[in-house]
Structure 1
Amino acid sequence: MGVLLVLWGQRLRRDRWQLVSWVAAIGMFALFAAAAVTQTYGSAAARTEILQVAIATPAILMLRGLPRGAEQGAFTFFLIYAFLALLAGLMSTFLAVRHTRADEETGGAELVAATPAGRLLPNIATLLHGAAANILVALAVFAGFTAQGLDPQGSLTAGAATGAVGLAFLGVGLLVAQFMGTSRGANGVSAALVVLAYLLRGIGDATGTPGADGTTMTEGPASWFSPIGWGQQTYAYSGNRAWPLLLPLALAVVCLTSAWFILQKRDTGASVWGARPGRPAARPGLRSPVALALRLQSGSIIGWALSGLALGLLAGSLGKAVAALDTPGTGITAVMRAMLQAQGVSLTQLMVSVIFSMAGVLAAACALQAVIRLRQEEAAGTAELLLAAPVGRVRWLAGYLLLGAAAVVLVVGLTGLGAWVTLTGSGDSMPADALWETALAQLPAALIYLAVPALVFVLWPAATIAASWALLALGVMLGIFGGMLGLDQNLRNLSPFTHTPVPQGDATDWSGAWWMLAVAAVVAALSVAVMRRREVGSA
């Protein structure tokens, strides 16, 4: 028991800042959401009108949740639960991989296994660590909701649903770590499974059956294939059902049992899916730093690009459905324009702009991963080996920045292509030039998330990974969800996504885009200039 507590303490110390950041962010997001509902949708009539719009608009259900009534607590759960569960799932998978596959990859697991801890106790410590993290998340959600006066029982159910989803993905992350040979691959697969669960939940919500009162829906079949959908079945505040929580807990047990069985059978450092043997000599195309960076990041870039393509196809498909709602004199059209804060363009174009903003987030995530890869190469010591060749520090950094910018263009371009294929074919849904302008408008904000993390990498290398993801999460919360949460406009203006233009023909204001491009160029140039004087090492 003493050894187990020592291992757990080591994990707590190692993750102290990451864990505090995750739990605080999730709790504050719950608090802000509950406060915004009180301030922005204080009357039952306003909440009822929004729910009627949501039920009539599949895209809103995809991004939000399953309507279960206009009561304040149920409405808050509808708005924010799916995103809270998504964050809990990502936190849990990253935690699981960090203390299993990543430790094996660096050799730390083998050193620990040589002590009285053996091979199994470290994994038990990781399990306890992840379980404690998700209990804290559940308590943070409970505290955030109850602080705004929501029903304690419903808040407890909402917190338990979020924590249970996190536990399910903790098990998923531990199991995936047994299959993948690298932490990068394990993180990629685990995160993809979390996003898939979010999408399946969204598809189930969008294809559900509306209730007779116009404010409730019954989920579609796809929701039952998603742990996030299982947590949603608790009907927090409107039903407070406990039995759906058994499903994510059962998934966690199955994954943990499977991971335990595999761990006992394999060697330390090995994996179920072994890495393919490499070539005896590098290809001629790997003779430049940019080519090497592309080789190292090609898998993740392809993944983000395909996600953008899928999002574009979704935008086009939903845009056609939304076009049927864009008729004069309907309350739905008026409410949708108020929600999206734009006038003078079709409801279809507004909806496409909202979905394309998510493509901007994907492109930003792809961009900052290029910078994160820089830090990972430096921390692992491989950067020093590369820079021992005729490759300067500035050329090394500039190559990654160039690759990150190209990846941003690729993600946004494929998103536009997917929407163009599905939307403009009907001839009257949305002009092609407006569609491509909407896609182009996402580039400046995404490039900000390439330049700013690069400057962080140059000035404070150890903070690169945590600061990059924290900045993106803050930008999404303020810029993408800030309007729905009713946050102050001055606060929302801190996010680059707030300044992304919504194309409105000749009336489009592109000033925000030009300013963001200028800021990105200046910050990127500054990072390259400062890189000339920075030492490169593993510290």
Structure 2
Amino acid sequence: MTAVADARIAAPPKGSSRDLAGTGTLLKLALRRDRVMMPIWVLCLGLSASSTVSRLDSSYDTAAKRADLAADMNGNGSTRALFGAAFDDSLGALTVWRVGAFLCVFAAIMSLLIVIRHTREEEETGRQEALSSGMVGRRAGLTSALITVGIANGAIALLIAASLAGQGGRGALALGLAVGLSGMVFGAIAAVAAQVTENARVARGLASAAVGVAFVLRMGGDAAKDASDGSSHILVWLSPLGWAENARPFADERWWALLLLVALTAVAIGVAYALAGRRDVGASFFASRPGPPAGGPGLGSVYGLAWRLQRGTLLAWAAGLAFAGAVFGGIADGAEDFLGDSDSTRDTFIRMGGQEGLTDAFLASMVGILGLVVTIHTASAVLRLRSEETDQRAEPLLANAVSRVHWAASHLAVAFLGPIVILAAGGLALGVAYGAASGDLGGELPRVLGATLLQAPAVWVITSIAVFLFGVLPKFTAATWGVVGFVVAIGWLGPAMDLSQSVMNLSPFGHLPKVPGGDITAAPFLWMLLLTAALLAAGLAGLRRRDMSN
């Protein structure tokens, strides 16, 4: 009886400060692990706005030019959908229009990756359970992850505010807070996703889907209605990214819109903390259901197993890109009327999509965006190999008559063929939507679909880099996300920031022809395929020689 009483006294009450024991130590560990990638994210996002100001100032050096630009931008749904509305014609407001939406999206992506890495991924690998056996509280890991992402977003907000202070302190602070709070919102949503699933890959998928839905809602609302009259479409108000837009930096700031971001962040964090206190370490809040007593005939080989593990994600990506392609195709038909009157926007789309006509340039830029997004899926598909290895699920397979290369090939088949399926879905939707809007479905569909599928070799280069890291440098496999982030950032922000072609060529997408509309040559495709084959062979050779689970 005494022992039971002593145990009750020793056990920390639910919700006590002991739940946070060890938070400081875990925070130091998280900052150490992210000591390279987090500063890169912060510097890239924090300095993007200031470089955009310089370019706009040189291109539009008079108030009349800036006023015409703002009026042109707000006059067409195509550019409102992609960049958002311009609420004023000052340099600061035009900078917000040009890069504000993308900065919020990238801050969101950075945040969800950080939070998932230091919460669900720690539990999935078993490290959190080992730590919890010591003096580490139940919610310490979640708290340290949120503090880490708060530090990153705070640094981004301060850097943006400092770099744009010359354009107006209030507007600079409003933009910095809008970007930083957007990151915090999706970091908190990622924390919730980490509680409701047992798999880090699925948690990243859920959080990424939330970012995608928010962006599409904001994009659809801005395309449907010009917000220059002071009101926004209802779809914009359904998106946290729309709330950040409606903070209206450098345009009579609406500080109360930022409070919506704060409120959603607080609610999501509260939900994450509540769920974290009601589940076991390593488990999800919703208990996993037992599977059937016997596997189907498709699970009789490693290829069937890999397909079973990856098919849900693949089909979800295909559906998502089909939706995005339909939206892009629907707004492409009106692009030429607007882009012909806006020198800056025309130049940006020509840099993204080529010289062969403004509508083709717009379509090519949309095709390029679809290709960039698919790199996230292909990286995730390869990294599934690493998670299978570290979670000891690969070892039972390899103990049978299954070679390492055979096992890896089962997942790589999805990693290499999956992008074809996803790009085909996006290109088909883009071609159908644009062809129907332009009245030439039979002529436009084949060339738009073909242009989309030509993104595959560049995607495969990223796939092969992930395979190389997995096979040769397994401890650095997570660096694949850094490669993906770098490539996506160059593809999306590079044209708007007027980066040199030598910098753009650091991405494999910089070597692709600008299609539809541009000339196609075989050389870049051959070089990319050779590079893909070389990295793939090196990665598989390394996998055959190295120790597993290292």
* TM-score past 0.5 threshold: yes
Supply the distance in 1 between the matched residues of 2:65 and 2:302 (Cα, whole angstroms).
56
Aligned to 1:238: 251
Counting aligned pairs with the same residue, the percent is 30
Given that 1:101 and 1:182 are in contact with CA atoms closer than 8 Å, whether structure 2 keeps it comes out as yes
The correspondence for 2:482, drawn from 455, 470, 480, is 470
Q: 1:29 to 1:295 in 2, by over 3 A?
A: farther
Of residues 97, 112, 115 in structure 2, which corresponds to 1:93? 112
| SS state at 1:331 partner | coil
Aligned residues: 528
Q: Deviation at 1:200? A: 1.6
Q: Aligned pair in 2 of structure 1 residues 56, 428: CA closer, same or farther (>3 Å)?
A: farther
Distance 2:242 2:404 in 1: 47
Q: What is the match of residue 341 of structure 2?
A: 331
Alpha-carbon distance, 1:243 to partner:
2.0
Quickly say closer, same or farther: Cα 1:40–1:402, change in 2 above 3 A.
Answer: farther
| Structure 2 counterpart of 1:66 | 85
Task: For 1:456, give the aligned amino acid.
Answer: L
Asked if the contact 1:480–1:498 (Cα under 8 Å) also holds between the matched residues in 2, the reply is no
Q: Which amino acid aligns with 2:213?
A: L
SS at match of 2:295: coil
* Matching residue of 1:411: 422
Residue 513 of structure 1 corresponds to: 525
* 2:242 is the counterpart of 1:229: yes
- For residues 523 and 425 of structure 1, do their structure 2 counterparts lie closer, same or farther at Cα, with a shift above 3 Å needed? same
Task: Report SS of the residue matched to 2:36.
Answer: helix
1:310 is paired with a residue whose SS is helix
1:11-36 CA-partner distances (Å, limit 9, x unpaired)? 33343334333323322434443444
Deviation track 1:229-272 (CA, whole Å, cap 9, x = no partner) reads 21222211222332221111111111222233333333444433
2:182 to 139, 142, 165: 165
> Which amino acid is 1:241 matched to?
R
- Pick aligned residue for 1:16 from 10, 35, 41: 35
**Residue 421 in 1 paired to residue 432 in 2?**
yes
Answering whether residue 410 of structure 2 is matched by residue 391 of structure 1, we say no
2:215 is matched with 198
Q: Aligned residue for 1:379? A: 390
2:341 and 2:120 mapped to 1: Cα distance?
Answer: 53
Aligned to 2:470: 457
Report the AA paired with residue 27 of structure 1. G
Aligned-partner Cα distance in 1 for 2:32–2:343? 52
CA contact (8 A) 1:315 1:356 kept: no
Name the SS of the counterpart of 1:478 in structure 2: helix
CA contact (8 A) 1:134 1:167 kept: yes
Residue 508 and residue 58 in structure 1: after superposition, are their counterparts in 2 closer, same or farther (change >3 A)?
farther
- TM (normalized to structure 2)? 0.87
Residues 427, 452 of structure 2: 8 Å contact kept: yes
Q: Secondary structure at the match of 2:515?
A: coil
**2: CA distance between counterparts of 1:505 and 1:87?**
29
How far apart, in 1, do the equivalents of 2:322 and 2:455 lie? Answer: 14
Selected match of 1:401 from 400, 403, 412: 412
1:84 — aligned with what? Answer: 103
Note if contact 1:378-1:536 (Cα within 8 Å) is conserved in structure 2: no
CA contact 1:476–1:497 (8 Å) conserved in 2: no
Q: Which of residues 222, 225, 235 is equivalent to 1:208? A: 225
Quote the Cα distance in structure 1 between the aligned partners of 2:481 and 2:194.
Answer: 22
Deviation at 1:84, TM superposition (A): 1.4
1:257-336 superposed matches below 5 A: 257-322=270-335, 331=341, 336=346
2:478 partner SS: helix
2:249 is paired with a residue whose SS is coil
| Farther off after superposition, 302-311 or 133-142 | 133-142
Among candidates 122, 142, 155, match of residue 172 of structure 2: 155
In structure 1, stretches of 5+ residues that fail to align are none
Change (3 A) 1:484 1:10: closer
How far 1:39 moved relative to its partner? 4.5
State the alpha-carbon separation in 2 of the partners of residues 225 and 418 from structure 1.
24
Q: Kindly state the Cα deviation for residue 9 of structure 1 after the two structures are TM-superposed.
A: 2.3
- Secondary structure of the corresponding residue to residue 431 of structure 1: helix
70-79 or 58-67: bigger deviation:
58-67
SS in 2 for 1:483: coil
1:192 Cα offset (Å): 0.8
1:188-215 CA deviation, whole Å, 9 max, x = no partner? 1111112211222222222232547xxx
1:492 matched residue in structure 2: 504
SS at match of 2:147: helix
The answer to whether the Cα contact below 8 Å between 1:398 and 1:528 also exists between their aligned partners in 2 is no
CA apart distance, 1:309: 0.8
- For 1:37 and 1:333, the matched residues in 2 are separated by 11
Query: Against the structure 1 CA distance between its residues 293 and 527, is the aligned structure 2 distance closer, same or farther, given a 3 Å change threshold?
Result: same
**Aligned letter for 2:250?**
Y
Contact 2:59–2:344 (8 Å) recurs in 1: no
Structure 1 residues 53 and 287: alpha-carbon distance in aligned structure 2, compared to 1, 3 A threshold: farther
Alpha-carbon distance in 2 for matches of 1:410, 1:72 = 42
Could you list the per-position Cα deviations for residues 343-368 of structure 1 after superposition, in whole angstroms to 9, with x for gaps in the alignment? 77453332222111111012222222
The answer to whether the 8 Å contact 1:96/1:126 transfers is yes
State the distance in 1 between where 2:344 and 2:260 align.
40
Q: Report if the CA contact (8 A) 1:362-1:411 is conserved.
A: no
2:464 and 2:535 in contact (8 A); partners too: yes
Cα distance in 2, alignment partners of residues 368 and 196 from structure 1: 21
Shift of 1:507: 4.4
Alignment partners' CA distance in 2, 1:121 and 1:473 = 28
Cα distance, 1:114–1:75 mapped onto 2, change above 3 Å: same
CA distance in 2, matches of 1:397, 1:43: 59
Q: What do the CA deviations read for 1:104-152 (whole angstroms, capped 9, x no partner)?
A: 3344444444444432344333333332232122223334445xx4433
Cα shift readout 1:316-357 (whole Å, capped 9, x = no counterpart): 21123336669xxx6359963674246774533322221111
Which residue identity does 2:95 align to in structure 1? T
Write the distance in 2 (CA, Å) between the matches of 1:46 and 1:456.
49
The alpha carbon displacement at 1:486 in A equals 1.0
* Residue 128 to residue 365, structure 1, CA distance change in 2 (3 Å): closer
1:179 equivalent in alignment to 2:196: yes
Does the Cα contact within 8 Å between 1:66 and 1:219 map onto a contact in 2? Answer: no
In structure 2, relative to structure 1, the CA distance for the partners of 1:102 and 1:47 (3 Å cut) is same
Could you tell me which amino acid in structure 2 is paired with residue 175 of structure 1? V
Aligned residue for 2:7? none
- Kept in 2: contact 1:81–1:162 (CA 8 A): yes
Give deviations 1:359-412, integer Å, cap 9, x for gaps.
Answer: 101222222222212222233333333322222223333333332111010011
Q: TM-score, normalised on structure 1?
A: 0.88
**2:380 corresponds to 1:340:** no
Q: Aligned with 2:84: secondary structure?
A: coil
Bigger Cα displacement from structure 2, 122-131 vs 178-187: 122-131
What one-letter code is carried by the residue in structure 2 that aligns with 1:415?
A: G
